Structure 1
Amino acid sequence: MKISLDWLRTLFPTDKTPAEISALLTSTGLEVEGLEELESVPGGLQGVVLGTVLTCQKHPDADKLSITTVDVGDASPRNIVCGAPNVAAGQRVVVALEGAVLHPTSGEPFKIKKSKIRGAASEGMICAEDEIGLGTSHAGIMVLDTDLPNGTPAAEYFGLGSDHVLEIGLTPNRADAASHFGVARDLRALLRQPVQLPDVSHFHAPVQAEGQAIGVQIEDAEACPRYAGLLLESVQVGPSPEWMQRRLRSIGLSPINNVVDVTNYVLHELGQPLHAFDADQIGGNGIRVRRAAAGEQFTTLDGAERTLKAEDLVIADAQGRALALAGVFGGKTSGVTEGTTRVFLESAYFDPAVARKTAQNHQLKTDASFRFERGTDPHMVPLALKRAALLLQEVASARVAAPIVDEFPTHIEHTSVRLLLPRVEKLIGHYIASDRIRQILTDLDILIVEENDVHGGPEWIVSVPPYRVDVTREADVVEEILRIYGFDHVPLRTHNAADFLAGFPQPDAELLRRDVSQLLSGQGYSEIVTNSLVNSDYFETAEQPAADLVRVLNYNSADLDVMRPTLLHSGLEIVRHNVNRRQRDLKLYEFGRSYHRQPDGSYKERPTLGIFLTGNLQAESWQQPDAKTAYHHLAGAVLQVLRSLGHAQPGQQPVQHPYLNGGLTLLLHNQPVVHLGSVSPKVLKQMDVNQPVWYAELDWAWLTKKYRGALTVQELPKFPEVRRDLSLVVDLGVTFEQLRQIATKVEKKLLREVNVFDVYQGENLGAGKKSYSLSFLLQDPERTLTDQAIDQVMQKLMTQFEQQAGAVIRK
C-alpha cells in the first residue's frame, strides 16, 4: 500500500521528516518497506532560476537568433544566445544556468553547458515550458509576471515541491489502516495530535428531490447492513485537475475522468469505497440490493460475461437488472461515460464474508473488494458520500439534486471487551500506569464504558469501534496498548520467566520421511515398496513363535497368509529377484510397517525403516579392485540417519534380533531403536539368497516421536582440543562400548570424544586377551588445557579402566 506524505499531511499536519514518520509507523506494526521521493517535475528544476532580459540584439550571423544579456541575480549579467521569436528586453524569464540538467516534456534529458553559438558566447538558456517539462508549448520562451527577485529558484515560483511516498506492508488484520486517514489515526495515537478530517460542514442537499428521486431497497440486510446514495445532476465529465491527478499518480493510480477519480480519491483518503452509476441507466429510478439468481448473466466493466451464483450480492435497479457486483466491480452498461450528466453515488457497508466470496467466485481483486472483504467502517458511509459530493461540485460542476438516501436496517454495534488491568502487565511483561493505558485507548477510539473492582484487580469494560475488526479479545486490546506504548520501551529483564509454556507440535512424519529418503537416495540407496502380506512358512522357527504372528483369516493365497513381523523377509524377496537376474550389487531401503500380536491378544503395528546392503560397494573397474560391502558401510548410513534426526551418539550392545548374526543394537535413552548386522545364513538359505546381506531395522515410530531437530547451534570453541592415546589389554569379553561408558562417566566436563583406532589379538598377549588402542579428545570451553590438567584426567581414566574393566595399561 502506498501513502503520499503530502496527502497525509493534509489530514495530520506534522513537521516530522519522512524518515521519522517511517520509523514511527513501523513501530506500530505498519511496516514501511520503502520510502521514495517523487518530484513534480523530473529534476525538480535544479539550477533553473528567474531572470530579467536587460538587452536583446539580433545575432549578426543568424537571422533567427538573438544575443541577450540577462540578470540572474549574480554580480554581473550573463550573455545568452536565444532562438525564441518572442524574446525582448525587459521581460521576466526562466533561465537554466550552466550545469543544470533539463528534462523536456518529450525527448531525453540534456545538460546546459557554456558554449559558442555562431561565434557568440552563451552562458545558459532562456527556457520555453516544454524544455523544462512544464507543458507542451514550444511557440516561444515563457514570459512571467512577477515581482520576485532575479535568482529566485523557478521551483519556488511555480510552487513545485517534492513528495515522499511510503510503501507500507499492510498485514491482513489492519484493514483499518488501508487509507491515508487510517495511517493518520496511528500517528495521532503516537504523537498525541488531532487528525483533521475533510471539512464537510458546507455540504447542503435540498429537503426534497428536485425531480424524480432514486430510492433504495435492501433485500438482504445481513449481507448489506448499510447502503447510502446521493443523486447529482449537471455533471460535466472531463479530466481531473492537476493536483488530483498528481496525488493519484503518486500512489500508483492512473487518472480516468473527474467522476471516477473522485471516487478513487475518497477511497484512498478515507478508506471508504464508492461507486458512481450513470443515473439515467438506473431503470425505475430505484436501487435494489439483492442476491443474484443462480446462473444469472452479468457483464462487468472489463467486458467479461460472468455467470453469477446464488450467493453473490448484486446492486440492481428497480426493474431487477443487475448494475454491479456489490463491493467488487461495476457493470458495463451502468458506468459513467463522457456523455453522463446525472450521477448516482453509492456509499455502503457490505458483509466481509459476502464480498470475499463474490470476489473469489469471479477471480476479481479490486481496491474496493480488498477493503470490503477485510471490513470497513460502517460509520464512514455518509461522511465519504458528502466528501465526494463536495469534490464533484468543485471539479465537475455537479449539483446535489436530492437528499442523501441512507438505509441502515442492521445497526452495527461496538465490540465490548473485558480488560483486567493486571493482565496487561502479565502479557506485556512490563508495568504500564493505568493513566497511560487510559490515554492510549482514548487515542485509539477505544472507550472505557465501565470500571469495576473484581477479584484479581481493576477491570475495565471497553468499547471497540467496528472499524477495528481485528480487536475482539482482551489479548487484542493489550496488543493495541503495547504497539502504541512501544516495544522499545519494554526493557529486557535480567532473568526472564514465564508461567506458560506452549506445547511443542509433533513433527510432521511425512516431512521427516522425505528428508531421510533424500539422505539415503543421495548415498545411492534405492527405495522399495513391498507387500505387507508374507508367507507364514518363513517364520515356522524357534526364533519367531507362531503365537506372535498376525494371521489373515480370509487370505486369498496360502503364500500370503500372515502380516509381516519384520521387513527383512519381504526385502530379501526383492534381493533374490534382482540377484537371480544378475543384479548383485544392491543398496535398498523401505519405509513400511511391521505387525505384532501382543500377549494379551491385541494387535500392534509399528512403522519401521529397513535398510539392505549386499554385493560390491561399487561397480567393477580396472582402476581399483573390487570392494565387498561390509558392516561399517551399513553402520555409516544408519548413523547418518540418526544424526539427521538429532541423535548423535547412541549406546551400543550386541545385536538382539532373531534373524541377525553379528552386529549391534543401538540404544537411545536405553531404548533399543536400531538392529543392524549380517543376515543369518539360515535365513539366507531359506530365502534362496546365495550371497551375504547386511540388514538394519530402525524403529521409525520411536525416532519420529523423539525427533530432536536436525539443526543444532552452538558457539565455536575458542580454545584448542588435545588428543591423548592409550593402549590397554583386556579380556576378550570386554567391549569398546563398555570402555567408552567408563570414560564418559569418569570425565564429563573435558572429554569430548573416545575412539578406537586399533584392535590386536596375539599369542604374546596371553590366552583370552586382546589389546585396544584408544584416542581421547579433551577440550575446555573456558581455557587452554595445561599438561597438569591433562595428566590428571588421563590418570583418572587409567585407574578406572584397571578397576572396572580389569585392564592392563601398556606403556
Structure 2
Amino acid sequence: MKISYSWLKKIIDLPEDPDYIGKLLTRSGLEVESVEEIEPVRGGLEGMVVGYVVTCEKHPDADKLSKTTVDIGSDIIVPIVCGAPNVAAGQKVIVATVGATLYPAEGEPFKIKKAKIRGEASEGMICAEDEIGLGKSHAGIMVLDTNLPAGTPAAKYFNLEKDFVFEIGLTPNRADAASHWGVARDLRALLNRDLHLPSVEAFKAPENEFPIAVTVENSEACPRFGGVVIDGVTVGESPEWLQKALISIGLSPINNIVDVTNYVMHELGQPLHAFDAAAIAGNQVIVKNAAEGAKFVTLDGQERTLQATNLTISNATEPMAIAGVFGGSKSGVKDSTTRIFLESAYFSPVSVRKTSQVLGIKTDASFRFERGVNPDGNIYALKRAALLILEVAGGKIASSVTDIYPQAIQPFDFEVKYKNIDRLIGKSIDRHFIHRILQNLDIKITQESNYGHEGFEESFRVSVPPYRVDVQREADIIEEILRIYGFENVEISEHLSTDFLASFPQPDKERLQTDVARLLAANGFNEILTNSLTKATYTDLTESFKSELNVPILNRLSEDLGVMRQTLLFSGLEALAYNINRRQKDLKVFEFGKVYSRKPEGGEGQKAYQEELHLALLVTGDKHPESWQAKAEKTDFFVLAGAVQQILARLGINAEQQAVQNDIFSYGLAFMLNNRAVATVGLVNPKLAKAAEVKQTVFFADIAWDYLLKKYSAKHKFQDVAKFPEVRRDLSLVLDKQVSFDQIKKLALRTEKKILQQVNVFDVYEGDNIGAGKKSYSVSFTLQDEAQTLTDAVIDKTMTRLMEVFEKELGAVIRK
C-alpha cells in the first residue's frame, strides 16, 4: 500500500522528515518497507534557472536561428543560440545551464554542453515546456511573467515540491489503516496532534430533480447503501493536483469523475462507484444476488460468469456492477456522460471475499471491502466525493441522499481492567495517558463520568467503532495501548525469570537449512526454486506416486499447473531441461521445497491432506569443465551419494544403507533410519527424464528434511585424539554376486565391536578367473584399541574370527 507524505500533511501537521515518520509508523505496527522520493518533474529542473534575455539578433548564417545573450544571475551573461520564433530581448525565460540534464516529455534525456552552432558560441539552452517535461507544447520558448531576479532556480519559480511515498506492508487485520486518513489516525495517537478532516458543510441536497429508486434485497450482504445523483457534469481530464496525487501512489488518471472516486477511496478508505445515469434502466437501482450462470462484462472488457451467491448492483433489467468488486462496461462513466449516480456502500466482508475468490478478481475496492470498511463513514465519503466532482467536473447535486441502513452495525463494547494492562505490558502506564491513546484512536471511554473518580483505578468500559474489526476484546485494547506507547519504552527487568526450563531445546530449523545450503554451495551446487504446481500426468508415469493421491487445484490456470506436486523430482527435471536447452549442460542443483498429497487413509477437510518439506539434489553432465589439466569426466552416482552422506554427517545422523528397487530409479541406494528411508539416491529412470524433455543422464536424491530435523541432535560429541596407533588389514573375499558390501560391513561390525573402527571396500572384481555368478571384494579393516597398543596376537586373532564368520555365514572364499 502506497501512502503519500504530501497527502498526509494535508490531514495532519508533520514538520518531521519522512524517514522519522516511517520509523514511527513501523514502530506502531504499520511496517514501512521503503520510503521513495518522488520528483514532480524528472530531474527536478536541476541546473535550470530564470534567465533575462539581454540582447537578441538574427544569426548571421541561419535565417531561423537567433543569437542572444542571457543574464543567468550572479552577473553572468552567456551567449545562447535559440531556434524559437518568439524569443526577444527583455524576456524572462527558463535557461538550462551548461551541465544540466533535460528530461523532455518525449524522447531520451540529454545533457547541455558548450557548443558552436553555425559558427556562433552557445552556452546553454532557452527552453520550451516540452523540453523540460512540464507539458507537450513546442510552439515556442516559455516566456515568464515574473519579477523574480535572474538566476532564481526554476524549481522555485514553478513551486515544485518533492514528495515521498511510503510503501507500507499492511497486515490483513489492519483494514482501518488502508487509507491516508487511517494512517494519519495512528500518527494522531503517536504524536498527539489534531487531524484536519475535509469539510462537507457545503453539500446541499435539493429536491429530487432526478430521483432514482434504490432497493436492497439482500441486506445481509449489503447492510448499508448510499447514493446521490449529480447532473450537468463534464467528463474530461482531471486538474493537475488530482492527477499528481494519484500518480504519486502509483495510479493512472482516467477521467475527472473516476479519478475523484479513486482519490476519496485512498483518502478515506471508502470505495465508491460512479454509474452513468443514462444506463440505469427504469431509474431503479436494485442490490440483489445474481442469477446463476448470468453473463456480465466488467470494465476491463472481460466476460464473467456469475453465480447465485454473487451480489450485484442492478438496474431494472440487468446487472451494472459486481458489488464491492468491479463495475460493468455498460454503466461506466463515458466521455459523453452528463449525469451520474454516485454510490457509496458498506458490503459484507464475507460476501465480497467469496465473490472475489470465486471470480478470481482482485481490485482496490475488494481489497478494502473484504477486510472491512467503516459502516459509519460511507455517507461522509459520498458527500466528500460529490463536492470534489462539482469542483473538477462542474454540475449540481440533483437528488437527495439515499441512505438505506435498516439495522445499524453496533460498536464493540466491553470492560478493560487496569491490572491486566499492567500485567500484559509489564509496567504501569499513567491512566490518563492510556485514555488519551484510546481516544486518539477513536475508541471511546464510555465511563467518562467516572474518569478520575472512585472505581476509575480498577477498570473502564470502551466502545470500539465497528471498522476496528481487530479490536474486540480486552487483550486487543492492551495491544493498541502498547503499540502506541512503544515496545521500546517497556524497560527490561533486572531480574528476569521464565515459567519453565527447556531441557531439550528445539533446533533452529532456518539456521540448519542455511548451514546445509552453504555446505552444498561450497560443493558446487546451485539453489533453485520451482513451482509447487505441476502436471497431473507425471504421476501416471510411475507407480511409486499414486494419481489418486494428487491434490488437484479447483481453479487451475492450466493443465500444466493442475495439481500440487508429490515430489520435487519433476519440477527439478524441468529446471534442468530449461538450462540444458540454453547450453548449460553441466548442472548440480538443490531445492528445499514442500511436497503435497492426500492421505491414503482419507479424512475430511485439512486432515485429508499432508505436506512435508523435502530437500532434492540433482546432478547431470560432467563433474568439472574440460581443461588442459584434465579431461571431461561424466558425473556419477557417487558424486551425489557423497553429498548426501555429508549432509547426514552434518546433522549427526547415522543411517544404514540398502539397495532401492523401484520405477523411479534405474538403480539406487536408500539411507535408512528406524526402518524409514530418510534419503534415497539413484539414477533417474530415463523414461521419467524424457517426460521432462531431459535427454542426458540425471542422478537424483530425495531427502525427507522434516523427518531429519526431528532426529537431529544439537549435542556435539567430542573425543580425545587417539593415543595409540591404528592398524589396517586387508582381505580379498570371493562371494556370490547377490551378496552386498553392506552385508559384509554389518557382519564384521557385529562380530568385532571393540577394536574394529572402520570397514571399507577398495576394489570389486568380476571375471572368468573367479567363476560364474561370483565377484571379489577387496576389503580393508581398520583396528584400534583406545587403551593400549595392539599386539600381533590380538590382530591375528581378530582377523581369524572375521574370516571364519565370513566363510560360515556368507559362503566366502578367502583369497590368499
Shorter-chain TM-score tier? 0.5 to 0.7
Post-superposition shift, 1:163? 1.3
Counterpart CA distance in 1 for 2:112 and 2:55 is 21
Kindly indicate whether the alpha-carbon contact (under 8 Å) linking 1:225 and 1:409 is maintained by their aligned counterparts in 2: yes
> Which residue identity is paired with 2:125?
M
Asked whether 1:164 is paired with 2:157, we answer no
> Of the candidates 378, 382, 397, which is equivalent to residue 381 of structure 1?
378
The aligned residue for residue 46 of structure 1 is 46
Post-superposition shift, 1:506? 11
- Residue by residue over 1:602-645, the C-alpha shift from the partner in whole angstroms, topping out at 9 and shown as x without a partner, is xxxxxxxxxxxxxxxxxxxxxxxxxxxxxxxx9xx99997984x
Counterpart CA distance in 2 for 1:301 and 1:638 is 58
> Which residue identity is paired with 1:247?
A
The aligned residue for residue 298 of structure 2 is 300
Superposition pairs for residues 54-73 of structure 1, below 5 Å? 54-73=54-73
Asked whether 1:342 is paired with 2:312, we answer no
Give the TM-score, by structure 1 length: 0.65
Q: 1:491 to 1:710 in 2, by over 3 A?
A: farther
> Of the candidates 223, 231, 234, which is equivalent to residue 225 of structure 1?
223
> Which residue identity is paired with 2:399?
A
Q: 1:704 to 1:6 in 2, by over 3 A?
A: closer
> Which residue identity is paired with 2:177?
A
Kindly indicate whether the alpha-carbon contact (under 8 Å) linking 1:184 and 1:195 is maintained by their aligned counterparts in 2: yes
Post-superposition shift, 1:697? 7.9
Post-superposition shift, 1:314? 1.0
Q: Which moved more, 1:115-124 or 1:437-446?
A: 115-124
Counterpart CA distance in 2 for 1:76 and 1:371 is 57
Counterpart CA distance in 1 for 2:240 and 2:645 is 73
User: Partner of 1:725: helix, strand, or coil?
Assistant: coil
Kindly indicate whether the alpha-carbon contact (under 8 Å) linking 2:724 and 2:789 is maintained by their aligned counterparts in 1: no
The aligned residue for residue 448 of structure 1 is 445
The aligned residue for residue 414 of structure 1 is 411
Counterpart CA distance in 1 for 2:123 and 2:138 is 21
> Of the candidates 646, 662, 674, which is equivalent to residue 698 of structure 1?
674
- Residue by residue over 1:781-807, the C-alpha shift from the partner in whole angstroms, topping out at 9 and shown as x without a partner, is xxxxxxxxxxxxxxxxxxxxxxxxxxx
Counterpart CA distance in 2 for 1:42 and 1:705 is 52
For structure 2, the residue ranges without an aligned partner over 5 or more in a row are: 524-541, 545-640, 659-669, 678-703, 727-750, 756-783, 799-816
Post-superposition shift, 1:313? 0.9
- Number of aligned residue pairs: 587
> Of the candidates 324, 331, 352, which is equivalent to residue 328 of structure 2?
331
Q: 1:479 to 1:697 in 2, by over 3 A?
A: closer
The aligned residue for residue 181 of structure 2 is 181
Post-superposition shift, 1:435? 2.3
Kindly indicate whether the alpha-carbon contact (under 8 Å) linking 1:422 and 1:457 is maintained by their aligned counterparts in 2: no
Superposition pairs for residues 542-621 of structure 1, below 5 Å? none
Asked whether 1:428 is paired with 2:404, we answer no
Counterpart CA distance in 1 for 2:14 and 2:653 is 59
The aligned residue for residue 351 of structure 2 is 354
Q: 1:428 to 1:706 in 2, by over 3 A?
A: farther
Q: 1:70 to 1:435 in 2, by over 3 A?
A: same
Q: 1:367 to 1:765 in 2, by over 3 A?
A: closer
> Which residue identity is paired with 1:472?
Q
Asked whether 1:251 is paired with 2:249, we answer yes
Post-superposition shift, 1:63? 2.3
Post-superposition shift, 1:473? 2.1
- Residue by residue over 1:205-250, the C-alpha shift from the partner in whole angstroms, topping out at 9 and shown as x without a partner, is 11x212x411221112211110000000001111111111111111
> Which residue identity is paired with 1:234?
G
Counterpart CA distance in 2 for 1:191 and 1:265 is 26
> Which residue identity is paired with 2:674?
L
The aligned residue for residue 472 of structure 1 is 472
Post-superposition shift, 1:67? 2.0
Q: 1:50 to 1:642 in 2, by over 3 A?
A: closer
Q: 1:711 to 1:168 in 2, by over 3 A?
A: farther
Superposition pairs for residues 455-494 of structure 1, below 5 Å? 458-494=458-494
> Which residue identity is paired with 2:258?
V
Q: 1:291 to 1:67 in 2, by over 3 A?
A: same
Counterpart CA distance in 2 for 1:60 and 1:640 is 82
Percent of pairs with identical residues: 53
The aligned residue for residue 235 of structure 1 is 233
- Residue by residue over 1:630-685, the C-alpha shift from the partner in whole angstroms, topping out at 9 and shown as x without a partner, is xxxx9xx99997984x778xxxxxxxxxxxxxxxxxxxxxxxxx9x999xxxxxxx
User: Partner of 1:190: helix, strand, or coil?
Assistant: helix
Kindly indicate whether the alpha-carbon contact (under 8 Å) linking 1:128 and 1:140 is maintained by their aligned counterparts in 2: yes
- Residue by residue over 1:564-601, the C-alpha shift from the partner in whole angstroms, topping out at 9 and shown as x without a partner, is xxxxxxxxxxxxxxxxxxxxxxxxxxxxxxxxxxxxxx
The aligned residue for residue 401 of structure 1 is 398
Kindly indicate whether the alpha-carbon contact (under 8 Å) linking 2:47 and 2:97 is maintained by their aligned counterparts in 1: yes
The aligned residue for residue 113 of structure 1 is 113
The aligned residue for residue 549 of structure 1 is none
Superposition pairs for residues 182-197 of structure 1, below 5 Å? 182-197=182-197
User: Partner of 1:379: helix, strand, or coil?
Assistant: coil
Post-superposition shift, 1:292? 1.9
For structure 1, the residue ranges without an aligned partner over 5 or more in a row are: 530-633, 649-673, 679-693, 738-753, 769-811
Kindly indicate whether the alpha-carbon contact (under 8 Å) linking 2:724 and 2:787 is maintained by their aligned counterparts in 1: no
> Which residue identity is paired with 1:338?
D
Counterpart CA distance in 2 for 1:495 and 1:291 is 61
- Residue by residue over 1:307-327, the C-alpha shift from the partner in whole angstroms, topping out at 9 and shown as x without a partner, is 22221111112x252111110
> Which residue identity is paired with 1:438?
H
Counterpart CA distance in 1 for 2:246 and 2:785 is 73
Kindly indicate whether the alpha-carbon contact (under 8 Å) linking 2:325 and 2:366 is maintained by their aligned counterparts in 1: yes
Kindly indicate whether the alpha-carbon contact (under 8 Å) linking 1:245 and 1:255 is maintained by their aligned counterparts in 2: yes
Post-superposition shift, 1:528? 12
Kindly indicate whether the alpha-carbon contact (under 8 Å) linking 1:506 and 1:705 is maintained by their aligned counterparts in 2: no
Superposition pairs for residues 513-524 of structure 1, below 5 Å? none
Counterpart CA distance in 1 for 2:321 and 2:672 is 67
> Which residue identity is paired with 1:202?
A
- Residue by residue over 1:166-220, the C-alpha shift from the partner in whole angstroms, topping out at 9 and shown as x without a partner, is 11111111111111111111111111111111121111111x212x411221112
Q: 1:455 to 1:199 in 2, by over 3 A?
A: closer
Kindly indicate whether the alpha-carbon contact (under 8 Å) linking 2:416 and 2:459 is maintained by their aligned counterparts in 1: yes
Counterpart CA distance in 1 for 2:334 and 2:420 is 57
Kindly indicate whether the alpha-carbon contact (under 8 Å) linking 2:277 and 2:341 is maintained by their aligned counterparts in 1: yes
User: Partner of 1:306: helix, strand, or coil?
Assistant: strand
The aligned residue for residue 209 of structure 1 is 208
Kindly indicate whether the alpha-carbon contact (under 8 Å) linking 2:279 and 2:331 is maintained by their aligned counterparts in 1: yes
Q: 1:755 to 1:476 in 2, by over 3 A?
A: farther
- Residue by residue over 1:505-535, the C-alpha shift from the partner in whole angstroms, topping out at 9 and shown as x without a partner, is 999xxxx9xxx9xx9xx9xxxx999xxxxxx
Post-superposition shift, 1:341? 0.9
- Residue by residue over 1:495-514, the C-alpha shift from the partner in whole angstroms, topping out at 9 and shown as x without a partner, is 4334489999999xxxx9xx
> Which residue identity is paired with 2:481?
I
Counterpart CA distance in 1 for 2:705 and 2:54 is 91
Q: 1:282 to 1:54 in 2, by over 3 A?
A: same
Counterpart CA distance in 2 for 1:447 and 1:503 is 47
> Which residue identity is paired with 1:365?
K
Kindly indicate whether the alpha-carbon contact (under 8 Å) linking 1:288 and 1:320 is maintained by their aligned counterparts in 2: no
Q: 1:238 to 1:711 in 2, by over 3 A?
A: farther
User: Partner of 2:266: helix, strand, or coil?
Assistant: helix
Kindly indicate whether the alpha-carbon contact (under 8 Å) linking 1:53 and 1:89 is maintained by their aligned counterparts in 2: yes
The aligned residue for residue 309 of structure 1 is 307
Post-superposition shift, 1:434? 2.2
The aligned residue for residue 539 of structure 1 is none
Q: 1:331 to 1:32 in 2, by over 3 A?
A: same
Give the TM-score, by structure 2 length: 0.65
The aligned residue for residue 588 of structure 1 is none
The aligned residue for residue 289 of structure 1 is 287
- Residue by residue over 1:688-739, the C-alpha shift from the partner in whole angstroms, topping out at 9 and shown as x without a partner, is xxxxxx99883779x999987466779999xxx97462699xxxx99859xx
Asked whether 1:275 is paired with 2:251, we answer no
The aligned residue for residue 137 of structure 1 is 137
Counterpart CA distance in 2 for 1:503 and 1:313 is 56
Q: 1:74 to 1:300 in 2, by over 3 A?
A: same
> Which residue identity is paired with 2:367?
F
Counterpart CA distance in 2 for 1:121 and 1:697 is 85
> Which residue identity is paired with 1:189?
A
